[in-house]
């Protein structure tokens, strides 16, 4: 009886390693590594109010702003002909609103660090593919010491098309030298979930910004946090296709 769990663990480990061989995990950042969506929404509300724009609803934020590079959003709401000086000013304002509100609550989503450690231990390559800036990435990684887990970092300014275009995820896969069909995207936003599907990748949706029922309609697998998934579940995504 005592040998059974050991044999099962060895079997699970063998098949997990086989199915994850040559695989990659590509993570979005906001709402995926940390649950900061409410603080970004609050910062955009403050920015709109400070600069005389109409109030911003949560639904508009989630469907039109979340997951989109800040420059694209500023041009959409403040005018395509906005000057570079004004863009920089507004970017700084929004950044300050966000960081002041979020910093006291900055922590990884439940189970993230152990999950990243498990991925790395299994030899899975890991990328960060975020529409945010490198300053935003540094702000997060200065508090949460997880930068070393990532083999490459792609930010929004390095691609020409925002999500739901698959461009940022395809670029991450190319830098990891992994085929798109061997990649698993972790995302929370509607535009990001669509981008992962458009890239031909498996998509795990995390229900931080949207109800899990909505996420599950766009994702291969929907989770509440990283305690809901495992290497075995990731291997199963490839096993069943």
Task: Record the tokens describing residue 6, joined without a space.
Answer: 């050991």
Q: Which of 48, 84, 52 is nearest to 65 (CA)?
A: 48
* Cα 219 from Cα 223, distance rounded (Å): 10
Predicted confidence (pLDDT) per residue in 212-235, tens digit? 999 999 999 999 999 999 999 999
- Model's pTM, two decimal places? 0.86
Look up residue 24 and give its DSSP letter. E
Task: Count the neighbouring beta carbons within 10 Å of the beta carbon of residue 188.
Answer: 26
**Alpha carbons 58 and 76: distance in angstroms, whole number:** 17
Distance CA 196, CA 50 (A): 35
pLDDT tens-digit map of 84-121: 999 999 999 999 999 999 999 999 999 999 999 999 99
What pLDDT score was predicted for residue 33?
Answer: 98
Task: Name the pairing type of β-strands 202-206 and 125-130.
Answer: unpaired
Q: How many CB atoms lie within 10 A of CB 61?
A: 20
The domains of the chain, with CATH numbers, are 19-35+107-239 (3.40.50.1000), 37-105 (1.10.150.240)
CB atoms within 10 A of CB 24: 25
Q: Looking only at Cα atoms, what is the longest distance across the chain?
A: 73
């Amino acid at each position: 009886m005592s040998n059974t769990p050991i044999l099962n663990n060895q079997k699970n480990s063998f098949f997990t390693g086989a199915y994850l061989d040559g695989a990659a995990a590509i993570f979005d950042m906001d709402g995926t590594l940390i649950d900061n969506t409410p603080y970004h929404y609050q910062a955009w509300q403050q920015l709109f109010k400070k600069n005389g724009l109409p109030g911003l609803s949560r639904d508009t934020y989630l469907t039109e702003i979340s997951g989109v590079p800040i420059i694209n959003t500023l041009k959409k709401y403040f005018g395509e002909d906005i000057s570079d000086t004004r863009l920089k000013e507004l970017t700084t304002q929004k950044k300050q609103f966000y960081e002041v509100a979020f910093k006291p609550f900055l922590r990884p989503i439940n189970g993230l660090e152990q999950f990243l450690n498990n991925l790395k231990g299994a030899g899975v390559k890991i990328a960060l593919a975020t529409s945010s800036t490198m300053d935003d990435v540094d702000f997060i990684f200065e508090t949460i010491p997880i930068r070393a887990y990532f083999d490459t970092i792609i930010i929004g300014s390095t691609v020409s098309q925002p999500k739901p275009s698959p461009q940022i995820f395809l670029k991450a896969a190319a830098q990891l030298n992994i085929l798109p069909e061997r990649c698993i995207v972790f995302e929370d936003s509607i535009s990001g979930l669509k981008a992962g599907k458009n890239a031909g990748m498996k998509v795990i949706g995390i229900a931080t910004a949207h109800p899990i029922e909505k996420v599950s309609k766009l994702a291969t697998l929907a989770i509440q946090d990283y305690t809901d998934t495992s290497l075995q579940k990731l291997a199963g995504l490839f096993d069943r296709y």
